[in-house]
Structure 1
Amino acid sequence: MTGRNSGATRRTPAENAQLALLLEVAGTPKPGNVDRRRDLEDLRFEHFLAGTVGAGKGLRRAEHGARVGIAFERAVAGMSRQSGGNTQFGCLLLLVPLVSAAARGDLTPDGLDRVVADTTVEDAVSFYRAFEHVDVAVRDPPAEMDDLDVRRGEAAAPTLRERGLTLSDVLALSTGDAAGGGMEEEARGETDGEPGAETEAGTRGIPDWNAVDWTTGFERPFAVAASIRDDTGPIGDRTARAFLEVLADRPDTLVATSHGPAVARDVSERAADVRGDLEAADALADALVEEGINPGTTADTVAAGLFVALERGLSV
Protein backbone atom coordinates (compact mmCIF):
# COMPACT_ATOMS: atom_id res chain seq x y z
CA MET A 1 0.00 0.00 0.00
CA THR A 2 1.20 3.52 -0.76
CA GLY A 3 0.33 6.81 0.86
CA ARG A 4 -2.35 8.90 -0.84
CA ASN A 5 -2.74 12.65 -0.90
CA SER A 6 -4.62 13.66 2.20
CA GLY A 7 -6.70 16.32 3.91
CA ALA A 8 -8.69 18.97 2.09
CA THR A 9 -6.78 18.37 -1.16
CA ARG A 10 -7.50 14.65 -1.35
CA ARG A 11 -8.26 13.59 -4.91
CA THR A 12 -9.13 10.30 -6.54
CA PRO A 13 -6.57 8.59 -8.80
CA ALA A 14 -8.53 9.61 -11.90
CA GLU A 15 -8.59 13.23 -10.74
CA ASN A 16 -4.85 13.14 -10.08
CA ALA A 17 -4.29 11.73 -13.56
CA GLN A 18 -6.20 14.63 -15.10
CA LEU A 19 -4.30 17.09 -12.91
CA ALA A 20 -1.02 15.49 -13.99
CA LEU A 21 -1.96 16.04 -17.65
CA LEU A 22 -2.75 19.69 -16.91
CA LEU A 23 0.45 20.27 -14.96
CA GLU A 24 2.51 18.63 -17.69
CA VAL A 25 1.27 20.91 -20.45
CA ALA A 26 1.46 23.97 -18.16
CA GLY A 27 5.14 23.39 -17.36
CA THR A 28 7.45 25.67 -19.32
CA PRO A 29 9.83 25.66 -21.06
CA LYS A 30 9.65 22.10 -22.39
CA PRO A 31 11.72 22.28 -25.57
CA GLY A 32 9.81 21.37 -28.71
CA ASN A 33 6.50 20.80 -26.95
CA VAL A 34 3.32 22.77 -26.49
CA ASP A 35 3.39 24.58 -23.16
CA ARG A 36 1.56 27.55 -21.69
CA ARG A 37 3.80 29.95 -23.65
CA ARG A 38 4.07 28.05 -26.95
CA ASP A 39 1.67 26.64 -29.50
CA LEU A 40 2.46 24.69 -32.63
CA GLU A 41 0.89 25.56 -35.96
CA ASP A 42 -2.07 23.19 -35.65
CA LEU A 43 -1.83 22.15 -32.02
CA ARG A 44 -2.43 24.59 -29.21
CA PHE A 45 -2.44 24.76 -25.44
CA GLU A 46 -6.23 24.72 -25.28
CA HIS A 47 -6.37 21.45 -27.24
CA PHE A 48 -4.49 19.78 -24.39
CA LEU A 49 -6.88 21.24 -21.83
CA ALA A 50 -9.85 19.91 -23.80
CA GLY A 51 -8.12 16.55 -24.30
CA THR A 52 -7.61 16.26 -20.55
CA VAL A 53 -11.30 16.86 -19.88
CA GLY A 54 -12.25 14.33 -22.54
CA ALA A 55 -9.96 11.64 -21.14
CA GLY A 56 -11.69 11.76 -17.78
CA LYS A 57 -14.33 9.10 -18.46
CA GLY A 58 -11.74 6.51 -19.43
CA LEU A 59 -9.53 7.36 -16.46
CA ARG A 60 -12.50 6.98 -14.14
CA ARG A 61 -13.23 3.59 -15.68
CA ALA A 62 -9.67 2.53 -14.87
CA GLU A 63 -10.14 3.77 -11.31
CA HIS A 64 -13.36 1.76 -10.97
CA GLY A 65 -11.76 -1.51 -12.07
CA ALA A 66 -12.40 -1.67 -15.82
CA ARG A 67 -10.00 -3.66 -17.97
CA VAL A 68 -6.91 -1.63 -18.80
CA GLY A 69 -7.44 -1.91 -22.56
CA ILE A 70 -11.05 -0.77 -22.41
CA ALA A 71 -10.23 2.11 -20.07
CA PHE A 72 -7.39 3.20 -22.35
CA GLU A 73 -9.51 3.07 -25.50
CA ARG A 74 -12.25 5.09 -23.81
CA ALA A 75 -9.73 7.65 -22.54
CA VAL A 76 -8.26 8.07 -26.03
CA ALA A 77 -11.73 8.35 -27.57
CA GLY A 78 -12.60 11.13 -25.14
CA MET A 79 -9.24 12.84 -25.57
CA SER A 80 -9.79 12.96 -29.32
CA ARG A 81 -12.92 15.11 -29.01
CA GLN A 82 -11.17 18.40 -29.67
CA SER A 83 -10.07 20.08 -32.87
CA GLY A 84 -6.32 19.66 -32.43
CA GLY A 85 -6.12 15.92 -33.04
CA ASN A 86 -3.80 13.70 -31.03
CA THR A 87 -2.68 15.37 -27.82
CA GLN A 88 -2.03 12.78 -25.07
CA PHE A 89 -2.12 9.25 -26.50
CA GLY A 90 1.23 8.21 -24.98
CA CYS A 91 0.50 9.92 -21.68
CA LEU A 92 -2.70 7.90 -21.37
CA LEU A 93 -0.90 4.67 -22.22
CA LEU A 94 1.16 5.22 -19.07
CA LEU A 95 -1.50 6.82 -16.89
CA VAL A 96 -4.24 4.21 -17.28
CA PRO A 97 -2.28 1.34 -15.67
CA LEU A 98 -0.92 3.76 -13.05
CA VAL A 99 -4.47 4.76 -12.15
CA SER A 100 -5.47 1.09 -11.98
CA ALA A 101 -2.61 0.31 -9.61
CA ALA A 102 -3.30 3.36 -7.45
CA ALA A 103 -6.98 2.47 -7.17
CA ARG A 104 -5.93 -0.97 -5.91
CA GLY A 105 -3.73 0.71 -3.29
CA ASP A 106 -0.65 -0.78 -4.93
CA LEU A 107 1.14 2.06 -6.74
CA THR A 108 4.54 0.38 -6.76
CA PRO A 109 6.71 -1.21 -9.46
CA ASP A 110 5.54 -4.62 -8.28
CA GLY A 111 1.95 -3.42 -8.34
CA LEU A 112 2.38 -2.23 -11.91
CA ASP A 113 3.90 -5.58 -12.86
CA ARG A 114 0.72 -7.20 -11.58
CA VAL A 115 -1.49 -4.85 -13.59
CA VAL A 116 0.53 -5.58 -16.72
CA ALA A 117 0.55 -9.34 -16.13
CA ASP A 118 -3.24 -9.26 -15.79
CA THR A 119 -3.83 -7.90 -19.29
CA THR A 120 -5.68 -10.05 -21.81
CA VAL A 121 -6.04 -10.52 -25.55
CA GLU A 122 -9.17 -8.37 -25.44
CA ASP A 123 -7.11 -5.61 -23.81
CA ALA A 124 -4.80 -5.82 -26.84
CA VAL A 125 -7.80 -5.57 -29.18
CA SER A 126 -8.99 -2.46 -27.32
CA PHE A 127 -5.49 -0.99 -27.55
CA TYR A 128 -5.49 -1.44 -31.32
CA ARG A 129 -8.98 0.02 -31.53
CA ALA A 130 -7.70 3.18 -29.82
CA PHE A 131 -5.60 3.92 -32.92
CA GLU A 132 -8.81 4.46 -34.88
CA HIS A 133 -9.62 7.59 -32.85
CA VAL A 134 -6.49 9.64 -33.66
CA ASP A 135 -3.61 9.78 -36.11
CA VAL A 136 -0.56 8.32 -34.39
CA ALA A 137 2.94 8.56 -35.82
CA VAL A 138 4.48 5.09 -35.72
CA ARG A 139 7.38 3.27 -37.28
CA ASP A 140 6.75 0.91 -40.14
CA PRO A 141 6.86 -2.66 -38.81
CA PRO A 142 9.04 -5.36 -40.33
CA ALA A 143 7.33 -6.99 -43.32
CA GLU A 144 6.75 -10.23 -41.41
CA MET A 145 4.86 -8.27 -38.72
CA ASP A 146 2.63 -6.27 -41.04
CA ASP A 147 -0.49 -7.99 -39.75
CA LEU A 148 0.30 -6.55 -36.31
CA ASP A 149 0.79 -2.96 -37.46
CA VAL A 150 -1.18 -0.86 -34.98
CA ARG A 151 -2.44 1.28 -37.84
CA ARG A 152 -4.66 -1.66 -38.77
CA GLY A 153 -6.76 -0.85 -35.72
CA GLU A 154 -9.51 -3.35 -34.99
CA ALA A 155 -8.72 -5.14 -38.27
CA ALA A 156 -5.79 -6.70 -36.42
CA ALA A 157 -8.14 -8.34 -33.90
CA PRO A 158 -8.28 -11.75 -35.67
CA THR A 159 -4.48 -11.97 -35.67
CA LEU A 160 -4.26 -10.98 -32.01
CA ARG A 161 -6.85 -13.58 -31.05
CA GLU A 162 -5.35 -16.28 -33.25
CA ARG A 163 -1.90 -15.75 -31.72
CA GLY A 164 -3.23 -15.24 -28.21
CA LEU A 165 -1.34 -11.95 -27.79
CA THR A 166 -2.20 -9.97 -24.67
CA LEU A 167 -1.59 -6.24 -24.34
CA SER A 168 1.47 -7.07 -22.28
CA ASP A 169 2.75 -9.27 -25.11
CA VAL A 170 2.20 -6.56 -27.71
CA LEU A 171 4.09 -3.94 -25.74
CA ALA A 172 6.88 -6.38 -24.92
CA LEU A 173 7.30 -6.95 -28.67
CA SER A 174 7.42 -3.20 -29.19
CA THR A 175 10.39 -2.77 -26.87
CA GLY A 176 12.44 -4.70 -29.41
CA ASP A 177 11.27 -2.59 -32.38
CA ALA A 178 9.51 -5.71 -33.60
CA ALA A 179 5.78 -5.05 -33.64
CA GLY A 180 3.01 -2.60 -34.08
CA GLY A 181 5.00 -0.04 -35.99
CA GLY A 182 6.60 1.31 -32.83
CA MET A 183 3.57 2.38 -30.77
CA GLU A 184 4.64 6.00 -30.71
CA GLU A 185 2.61 9.16 -30.98
CA GLU A 186 3.02 12.51 -32.66
CA ALA A 187 1.66 14.10 -29.51
CA ARG A 188 3.16 17.55 -29.94
CA GLY A 189 2.49 17.95 -33.66
CA GLU A 190 0.59 15.98 -36.24
CA THR A 191 3.19 15.82 -39.01
CA ASP A 192 3.73 12.39 -40.49
CA GLY A 193 7.52 12.52 -40.42
CA GLU A 194 9.35 9.56 -41.90
CA PRO A 195 12.32 7.99 -40.13
CA GLY A 196 15.71 9.23 -41.25
CA ALA A 197 17.98 7.24 -43.51
CA GLU A 198 19.76 5.64 -40.57
CA THR A 199 16.56 4.62 -38.78
CA GLU A 200 16.74 0.98 -39.84
CA ALA A 201 20.05 0.52 -38.03
CA GLY A 202 19.78 3.20 -35.39
CA THR A 203 16.35 3.13 -33.78
CA ARG A 204 17.12 -0.22 -32.22
CA GLY A 205 19.27 1.79 -29.84
CA ILE A 206 16.36 4.15 -29.10
CA PRO A 207 13.47 1.96 -28.00
CA ASP A 208 9.86 2.81 -27.49
CA TRP A 209 10.27 4.15 -23.96
CA ASN A 210 6.57 3.86 -23.15
CA ALA A 211 6.67 0.16 -23.98
CA VAL A 212 9.86 -0.18 -21.93
CA ASP A 213 8.07 1.35 -18.94
CA TRP A 214 5.32 -1.22 -19.30
CA THR A 215 7.86 -4.04 -19.12
CA THR A 216 10.03 -2.64 -16.30
CA GLY A 217 7.55 -1.74 -13.58
CA PHE A 218 7.34 1.89 -14.74
CA GLU A 219 10.72 2.59 -13.16
CA ARG A 220 11.33 5.91 -14.93
CA PRO A 221 8.03 7.56 -13.91
CA PHE A 222 8.78 6.65 -10.29
CA ALA A 223 12.23 8.21 -10.61
CA VAL A 224 10.76 11.35 -12.18
CA ALA A 225 8.20 11.55 -9.36
CA ALA A 226 10.99 11.49 -6.79
CA SER A 227 12.90 14.25 -8.58
CA ILE A 228 9.80 16.46 -8.78
CA ARG A 229 8.99 15.95 -5.09
CA ASP A 230 12.59 16.60 -4.04
CA ASP A 231 12.82 19.76 -6.15
CA THR A 232 11.66 23.16 -4.91
CA GLY A 233 9.80 26.10 -6.37
CA PRO A 234 6.66 26.30 -8.51
CA ILE A 235 5.52 22.98 -9.93
CA GLY A 236 5.66 24.39 -13.46
CA ASP A 237 9.40 24.99 -13.02
CA ARG A 238 9.89 21.55 -11.46
CA THR A 239 8.07 20.02 -14.41
CA ALA A 240 10.31 21.85 -16.88
CA ARG A 241 13.47 20.76 -15.06
CA ALA A 242 12.24 17.15 -14.95
CA PHE A 243 11.50 17.30 -18.68
CA LEU A 244 15.05 18.49 -19.40
CA GLU A 245 16.53 15.72 -17.25
CA VAL A 246 14.54 13.00 -19.00
CA LEU A 247 15.30 14.40 -22.44
CA ALA A 248 19.00 14.71 -21.66
CA ASP A 249 19.16 11.16 -20.31
CA ARG A 250 17.13 9.40 -23.01
CA PRO A 251 16.91 10.23 -26.72
CA ASP A 252 13.22 10.70 -27.43
CA THR A 253 11.40 7.91 -29.28
CA LEU A 254 9.11 10.25 -31.17
CA VAL A 255 12.03 12.36 -32.37
CA ALA A 256 13.82 9.20 -33.53
CA THR A 257 10.66 8.03 -35.30
CA SER A 258 10.04 11.32 -37.07
CA HIS A 259 13.57 12.57 -37.72
CA GLY A 260 15.95 9.66 -37.21
CA PRO A 261 18.17 8.58 -34.31
CA ALA A 262 20.99 11.04 -35.00
CA VAL A 263 18.60 13.96 -34.53
CA ALA A 264 17.18 12.36 -31.38
CA ARG A 265 20.65 12.00 -29.88
CA ASP A 266 21.58 15.54 -30.88
CA VAL A 267 18.46 16.89 -29.15
CA SER A 268 19.41 15.01 -25.99
CA GLU A 269 22.87 16.56 -26.09
CA ARG A 270 21.35 20.01 -26.51
CA ALA A 271 19.05 19.36 -23.55
CA ALA A 272 22.01 18.21 -21.45
CA ASP A 273 23.75 21.50 -22.20
CA VAL A 274 20.91 23.51 -20.62
CA ARG A 275 19.60 21.13 -17.95
CA GLY A 276 18.71 23.03 -14.81
CA ASP A 277 18.95 26.40 -16.60
CA LEU A 278 15.40 27.35 -17.55
CA GLU A 279 16.50 30.61 -19.17
CA ALA A 280 18.79 28.75 -21.56
CA ALA A 281 16.14 26.09 -22.04
CA ASP A 282 13.72 28.79 -23.15
CA ALA A 283 15.91 29.54 -26.15
CA LEU A 284 16.20 25.82 -26.93
CA ALA A 285 12.41 25.53 -26.74
CA ASP A 286 11.99 28.23 -29.36
CA ALA A 287 14.65 26.61 -31.56
CA LEU A 288 13.07 23.15 -31.49
CA VAL A 289 9.63 24.51 -32.25
CA GLU A 290 11.12 26.36 -35.22
CA GLU A 291 12.83 23.12 -36.35
CA GLY A 292 9.63 21.10 -35.98
CA ILE A 293 11.16 18.70 -33.45
CA ASN A 294 8.71 17.43 -30.81
CA PRO A 295 10.00 15.23 -27.94
CA GLY A 296 6.53 13.87 -27.17
CA THR A 297 7.65 10.65 -25.49
CA THR A 298 9.55 12.69 -22.91
CA ALA A 299 6.33 14.53 -22.07
CA ASP A 300 4.58 11.18 -21.57
CA THR A 301 7.14 10.16 -18.95
CA VAL A 302 6.87 13.49 -17.15
CA ALA A 303 3.06 13.30 -17.02
CA ALA A 304 3.31 9.82 -15.52
CA GLY A 305 5.88 11.05 -13.01
CA LEU A 306 3.63 13.94 -12.01
CA PHE A 307 0.81 11.47 -11.36
CA VAL A 308 2.97 9.34 -9.08
CA ALA A 309 4.20 12.47 -7.27
CA LEU A 310 0.62 13.66 -6.72
CA GLU A 311 -0.43 10.26 -5.42
CA ARG A 312 2.54 10.31 -3.06
CA GLY A 313 1.75 13.66 -1.58
CA LEU A 314 2.90 16.44 -3.93
CA SER A 315 0.89 19.43 -2.80
CA VAL A 316 -1.02 21.50 -5.33
Structure 2
Amino acid sequence: MSDRTPVQNAELALLLEVTGTPKPGNVDRERDFADLRFEHFMAGAVGARPGLGLAADGEPVGRAFEHAVAGMADQSAGNTQFGALLLLAPLVAAAGEGDLTPAGVDRVVRGTTVADAAAFYRAFEHVDVAVDDPPEGMEPLDVRHGSDAIPELEAQGLTLFDVMAESADVDGIAAEWAGGFARVFEAAEALLADDGPVPDRASRVFLKLLAEDVDTFVVTRNSPDAAAEVQRRAQAVLDGEEDATELAEELVARDINPGTTADLVAGALFVALERGLVV
Protein backbone atom coordinates (compact mmCIF):
# COMPACT_ATOMS: atom_id res chain seq x y z
CA MET A 1 0.00 0.00 0.00
CA SER A 2 1.33 3.42 -0.96
CA ASP A 3 2.05 6.08 1.67
CA ARG A 4 0.74 8.84 -0.60
CA THR A 5 -1.75 11.22 0.99
CA PRO A 6 -5.22 11.80 -0.53
CA VAL A 7 -3.97 15.11 -1.93
CA GLN A 8 -1.03 13.44 -3.63
CA ASN A 9 -3.33 10.76 -5.03
CA ALA A 10 -5.73 13.41 -6.33
CA GLU A 11 -2.92 15.20 -8.16
CA LEU A 12 -1.63 11.87 -9.49
CA ALA A 13 -5.14 10.93 -10.67
CA LEU A 14 -5.33 14.11 -12.74
CA LEU A 15 -1.91 13.42 -14.24
CA LEU A 16 -2.67 9.77 -14.97
CA GLU A 17 -5.97 10.68 -16.61
CA VAL A 18 -4.31 12.86 -19.24
CA THR A 19 -1.58 10.28 -19.91
CA GLY A 20 -4.11 7.62 -20.91
CA THR A 21 -4.22 7.06 -24.67
CA PRO A 22 -6.13 6.77 -26.86
CA LYS A 23 -9.08 8.58 -25.31
CA PRO A 24 -11.16 9.47 -28.39
CA GLY A 25 -11.79 13.20 -28.56
CA ASN A 26 -9.67 14.12 -25.56
CA VAL A 27 -6.21 15.55 -25.08
CA ASP A 28 -3.81 12.73 -24.23
CA ARG A 29 -0.07 12.19 -24.39
CA GLU A 30 -0.26 11.76 -28.19
CA ARG A 31 -2.95 14.30 -29.14
CA ASP A 32 -3.46 18.03 -28.53
CA PHE A 33 -6.08 20.53 -29.53
CA ALA A 34 -4.84 23.72 -31.19
CA ASP A 35 -5.36 25.79 -28.04
CA LEU A 36 -5.40 23.07 -25.37
CA ARG A 37 -2.36 20.86 -24.98
CA PHE A 38 -1.04 18.02 -22.84
CA GLU A 39 1.23 20.41 -20.94
CA HIS A 40 -1.75 22.58 -19.93
CA PHE A 41 -3.40 19.59 -18.23
CA MET A 42 -0.20 18.79 -16.38
CA ALA A 43 0.07 22.38 -15.19
CA GLY A 44 -3.62 22.38 -14.25
CA ALA A 45 -3.16 19.27 -12.11
CA VAL A 46 -0.22 20.80 -10.25
CA GLY A 47 -2.00 24.11 -9.80
CA ALA A 48 -5.13 22.47 -8.39
CA ARG A 49 -3.28 20.69 -5.61
CA PRO A 50 -3.42 23.42 -2.91
CA GLY A 51 -7.19 23.70 -3.28
CA LEU A 52 -7.60 19.95 -3.02
CA GLY A 53 -5.44 20.13 0.08
CA LEU A 54 -8.09 22.33 1.67
CA ALA A 55 -10.68 19.60 1.03
CA ALA A 56 -8.45 16.99 2.65
CA ASP A 57 -7.99 19.26 5.67
CA GLY A 58 -11.73 19.54 6.26
CA GLU A 59 -12.31 22.99 4.77
CA PRO A 60 -15.72 23.54 3.10
CA VAL A 61 -16.03 21.74 -0.23
CA GLY A 62 -17.05 24.87 -2.12
CA ARG A 63 -14.07 26.86 -0.87
CA ALA A 64 -11.72 23.98 -1.69
CA PHE A 65 -13.19 23.65 -5.17
CA GLU A 66 -12.95 27.38 -5.91
CA HIS A 67 -9.30 27.46 -4.84
CA ALA A 68 -8.55 24.33 -6.87
CA VAL A 69 -10.10 25.91 -9.97
CA ALA A 70 -8.18 29.13 -9.45
CA GLY A 71 -4.95 27.16 -9.21
CA MET A 72 -5.85 25.00 -12.19
CA ALA A 73 -6.42 28.13 -14.25
CA ASP A 74 -2.86 29.34 -13.64
CA GLN A 75 -1.73 28.26 -17.10
CA SER A 76 -2.27 29.77 -20.53
CA ALA A 77 -5.13 27.61 -21.83
CA GLY A 78 -7.87 28.27 -19.27
CA ASN A 79 -10.17 25.40 -18.35
CA THR A 80 -8.54 22.00 -18.25
CA GLN A 81 -10.13 20.05 -15.36
CA PHE A 82 -13.11 21.99 -13.98
CA GLY A 83 -15.44 18.98 -13.97
CA ALA A 84 -12.79 16.64 -12.59
CA LEU A 85 -12.19 19.01 -9.68
CA LEU A 86 -15.91 19.18 -8.99
CA LEU A 87 -15.77 15.41 -8.50
CA LEU A 88 -12.45 15.34 -6.69
CA ALA A 89 -13.22 18.00 -4.07
CA PRO A 90 -15.88 15.91 -2.26
CA LEU A 91 -14.03 12.65 -2.91
CA VAL A 92 -10.88 14.05 -1.30
CA ALA A 93 -12.96 15.45 1.56
CA ALA A 94 -14.46 12.01 2.19
CA ALA A 95 -11.01 10.42 2.05
CA GLY A 96 -9.75 13.01 4.51
CA GLU A 97 -12.52 11.95 6.88
CA GLY A 98 -11.52 8.29 6.45
CA ASP A 99 -14.73 7.29 4.65
CA LEU A 100 -14.12 7.13 0.91
CA THR A 101 -17.29 5.16 0.18
CA PRO A 102 -20.45 6.05 -1.74
CA ALA A 103 -22.18 6.70 1.58
CA GLY A 104 -19.28 8.79 2.85
CA VAL A 105 -19.15 10.99 -0.24
CA ASP A 106 -22.94 11.29 -0.26
CA ARG A 107 -22.79 12.57 3.30
CA VAL A 108 -20.16 15.14 2.28
CA VAL A 109 -22.14 16.53 -0.66
CA ARG A 110 -25.44 16.57 1.24
CA GLY A 111 -23.70 18.53 3.96
CA THR A 112 -22.78 21.41 1.65
CA THR A 113 -24.14 24.88 2.33
CA VAL A 114 -25.29 28.04 0.59
CA ALA A 115 -21.75 29.37 1.08
CA ASP A 116 -20.44 26.35 -0.83
CA ALA A 117 -22.85 27.14 -3.66
CA ALA A 118 -21.62 30.74 -3.69
CA ALA A 119 -18.01 29.54 -3.96
CA PHE A 120 -19.01 27.27 -6.85
CA TYR A 121 -20.49 30.23 -8.70
CA ARG A 122 -17.38 32.31 -8.07
CA ALA A 123 -15.29 29.53 -9.63
CA PHE A 124 -16.87 30.35 -12.99
CA GLU A 125 -15.11 33.71 -12.88
CA HIS A 126 -11.71 31.99 -13.15
CA VAL A 127 -12.32 30.09 -16.42
CA ASP A 128 -14.80 29.81 -19.28
CA VAL A 129 -16.92 26.66 -18.93
CA ALA A 130 -19.31 25.40 -21.60
CA VAL A 131 -22.78 25.20 -20.05
CA ASP A 132 -26.33 25.07 -21.35
CA ASP A 133 -28.67 28.03 -21.08
CA PRO A 134 -30.73 27.72 -17.88
CA PRO A 135 -34.39 26.65 -18.06
CA GLU A 136 -36.97 29.39 -18.50
CA GLY A 137 -37.46 31.25 -15.26
CA MET A 138 -34.06 30.22 -13.91
CA GLU A 139 -32.04 32.93 -15.64
CA PRO A 140 -31.07 34.66 -12.34
CA LEU A 141 -29.28 31.43 -11.35
CA ASP A 142 -27.27 31.08 -14.56
CA VAL A 143 -23.79 30.00 -13.40
CA ARG A 144 -22.28 32.30 -16.01
CA HIS A 145 -23.37 35.22 -13.82
CA GLY A 146 -20.72 34.19 -11.28
CA SER A 147 -20.84 36.31 -8.12
CA ASP A 148 -23.81 38.28 -9.44
CA ALA A 149 -26.02 35.23 -8.89
CA ILE A 150 -25.09 34.84 -5.21
CA PRO A 151 -27.89 37.08 -3.86
CA GLU A 152 -30.43 34.87 -5.65
CA LEU A 153 -28.77 31.74 -4.25
CA GLU A 154 -28.98 33.21 -0.77
CA ALA A 155 -32.57 34.34 -1.24
CA GLN A 156 -33.60 30.83 -2.22
CA GLY A 157 -31.36 29.13 0.36
CA LEU A 158 -29.80 26.84 -2.24
CA THR A 159 -26.89 24.67 -1.15
CA LEU A 160 -24.29 23.33 -3.55
CA PHE A 161 -26.00 19.94 -3.39
CA ASP A 162 -29.29 21.63 -4.35
CA VAL A 163 -27.61 23.27 -7.35
CA MET A 164 -26.12 19.96 -8.47
CA ALA A 165 -29.38 18.06 -8.00
CA GLU A 166 -31.18 20.63 -10.17
CA SER A 167 -28.85 19.79 -13.08
CA ALA A 168 -28.53 16.05 -12.53
CA ASP A 169 -30.70 15.11 -15.51
CA VAL A 170 -28.59 17.08 -18.00
CA ASP A 171 -25.05 17.08 -16.55
CA GLY A 172 -22.99 13.96 -15.89
CA ILE A 173 -20.98 15.49 -13.04
CA ALA A 174 -24.10 16.77 -11.29
CA ALA A 175 -25.62 13.31 -11.72
CA GLU A 176 -22.71 11.85 -9.76
CA TRP A 177 -23.29 14.33 -6.94
CA ALA A 178 -26.97 13.43 -6.81
CA GLY A 179 -26.45 9.70 -7.23
CA GLY A 180 -23.77 8.69 -4.76
CA PHE A 181 -20.93 8.88 -7.31
CA ALA A 182 -22.08 5.53 -8.68
CA ARG A 183 -20.24 5.64 -12.01
CA VAL A 184 -17.01 6.85 -10.37
CA PHE A 185 -16.93 3.99 -7.88
CA GLU A 186 -17.91 1.42 -10.51
CA ALA A 187 -15.14 2.66 -12.82
CA ALA A 188 -12.66 2.53 -9.94
CA GLU A 189 -13.45 -1.14 -9.46
CA ALA A 190 -12.90 -1.73 -13.19
CA LEU A 191 -9.48 -0.07 -12.95
CA LEU A 192 -8.53 -2.26 -10.00
CA ALA A 193 -9.77 -5.43 -11.71
CA ASP A 194 -7.80 -4.70 -14.90
CA ASP A 195 -4.06 -5.21 -15.33
CA GLY A 196 -1.18 -3.61 -17.18
CA PRO A 197 0.04 0.01 -17.13
CA VAL A 198 -2.38 2.36 -15.40
CA PRO A 199 -2.69 4.79 -18.36
CA ASP A 200 -3.77 1.85 -20.54
CA ARG A 201 -6.36 0.84 -17.95
CA ALA A 202 -7.58 4.44 -17.88
CA SER A 203 -8.00 4.41 -21.66
CA ARG A 204 -10.02 1.20 -21.52
CA VAL A 205 -12.25 2.48 -18.73
CA PHE A 206 -12.75 5.73 -20.65
CA LEU A 207 -14.07 3.79 -23.65
CA LYS A 208 -16.30 1.66 -21.41
CA LEU A 209 -17.84 4.74 -19.78
CA LEU A 210 -18.20 6.47 -23.14
CA ALA A 211 -20.10 3.49 -24.54
CA GLU A 212 -22.38 3.25 -21.50
CA ASP A 213 -23.94 6.71 -21.70
CA VAL A 214 -23.89 9.91 -23.73
CA ASP A 215 -21.24 12.40 -22.71
CA THR A 216 -23.10 15.48 -21.50
CA PHE A 217 -20.24 17.81 -22.40
CA VAL A 218 -20.59 16.70 -26.03
CA VAL A 219 -24.34 17.26 -25.78
CA THR A 220 -23.76 20.81 -24.54
CA ARG A 221 -20.82 21.76 -26.72
CA ASN A 222 -21.75 19.95 -29.95
CA SER A 223 -25.21 18.37 -30.08
CA PRO A 224 -27.28 15.42 -28.79
CA ASP A 225 -26.78 13.72 -32.16
CA ALA A 226 -23.00 14.05 -31.88
CA ALA A 227 -23.09 12.61 -28.36
CA ALA A 228 -25.19 9.67 -29.53
CA GLU A 229 -22.76 9.04 -32.39
CA VAL A 230 -19.77 9.09 -30.05
CA GLN A 231 -21.48 6.67 -27.67
CA ARG A 232 -22.34 4.31 -30.54
CA ARG A 233 -18.84 4.39 -31.97
CA ALA A 234 -17.21 3.84 -28.58
CA GLN A 235 -19.23 0.65 -28.35
CA ALA A 236 -18.05 -0.26 -31.85
CA VAL A 237 -14.46 0.08 -30.63
CA LEU A 238 -15.22 -2.25 -27.72
CA ASP A 239 -16.81 -4.70 -30.16
CA GLY A 240 -13.72 -4.66 -32.38
CA GLU A 241 -15.53 -2.95 -35.24
CA GLU A 242 -13.62 0.36 -35.07
CA ASP A 243 -10.07 1.35 -34.20
CA ALA A 244 -9.69 3.46 -31.07
CA THR A 245 -6.74 5.46 -32.38
CA GLU A 246 -8.47 6.27 -35.67
CA LEU A 247 -11.59 7.38 -33.78
CA ALA A 248 -9.42 9.53 -31.49
CA GLU A 249 -7.83 11.28 -34.46
CA GLU A 250 -11.21 11.87 -36.11
CA LEU A 251 -12.91 13.30 -33.03
CA VAL A 252 -10.02 15.67 -32.33
CA ALA A 253 -10.17 16.84 -35.95
CA ARG A 254 -13.93 17.41 -35.59
CA ASP A 255 -13.48 19.22 -32.24
CA ILE A 256 -15.68 16.74 -30.39
CA ASN A 257 -14.43 16.45 -26.82
CA PRO A 258 -16.06 13.95 -24.38
CA GLY A 259 -14.80 15.89 -21.39
CA THR A 260 -17.34 14.64 -18.87
CA THR A 261 -16.18 11.07 -19.42
CA ALA A 262 -12.57 12.13 -18.86
CA ASP A 263 -13.64 13.80 -15.60
CA LEU A 264 -15.26 10.56 -14.44
CA VAL A 265 -12.04 8.68 -15.19
CA ALA A 266 -10.07 11.17 -13.08
CA GLY A 267 -12.42 10.61 -10.17
CA ALA A 268 -12.23 6.85 -10.62
CA LEU A 269 -8.43 6.93 -10.71
CA PHE A 270 -8.41 8.77 -7.39
CA VAL A 271 -10.68 6.21 -5.75
CA ALA A 272 -8.63 3.35 -7.19
CA LEU A 273 -5.37 4.89 -5.99
CA GLU A 274 -6.80 5.32 -2.53
CA ARG A 275 -7.87 1.67 -2.62
CA GLY A 276 -4.44 0.40 -3.53
CA LEU A 277 -3.99 0.78 -7.29
CA VAL A 278 -0.25 0.33 -7.80
CA VAL A 279 1.64 2.80 -9.99
Q: TM-score range by the shorter chain?
A: over 0.9
The residue type paired with residue 115 of structure 1 is V
Match of residue 267 from structure 1: 230
Question: Can you give the 5+ residue segments of structure 2 that lack an aligned partner in the other structure?
Answer: none
1:143 CA displacement = 2.8
Match of residue 104 from structure 1: 97
Does the CA-based 8 Å contact 1:240-1:278 persist in structure 2?
no
1:211 to 149, 155, 174: 174
The residue type paired with residue 52 of structure 2 is L
Match of residue 282 from structure 1: 245
CA RMSD of aligned residues (A): 1.2
Q: How many residues are paired up?
A: 279
Compute the TM-score of the two structures, normalised by the length of structure 2: 0.98
1:139 CA displacement = 0.3
User: Residues 1-316 of structure 1 correspond to what in structure 2 (within 5 A)?
Assistant: 6=1, 9-176=2-169, 207-275=170-238, 280-316=243-279
The CA distance in 2 between the partners of 1:134 and 1:16, in whole Å, is 24
The CA distance in 2 between the partners of 1:109 and 1:142, in whole Å, is 30
1:40 CA displacement = 0.3
Question: Can you give the 5+ residue segments of structure 1 that lack an aligned partner in the other structure?
Answer: 1-5, 177-206
The residue type paired with residue 231 of structure 2 is S
The CA distance in 2 between the partners of 1:85 and 1:127, in whole Å, is 17
The CA distance in 1 between the partners of 2:239 and 2:39, in whole Å, is 27
| 4+ residue segments displaced more than 3 Å | 276-279
1:278 CA displacement = 11
The residue type paired with residue 251 of structure 2 is L
Does the CA-based 8 Å contact 1:251-1:265 persist in structure 2?
yes
Identity of aligned residues (%): 60
Does the CA-based 8 Å contact 2:236-2:242 persist in structure 1?
no
The CA distance in 2 between the partners of 1:255 and 1:288, in whole Å, is 11
Q: 1:120 to 1:84 in 2, by over 3 A?
A: same
Compute the TM-score of the two structures, normalised by the length of structure 1: 0.87
Q: 1:165 to 1:254 in 2, by over 3 A?
A: same
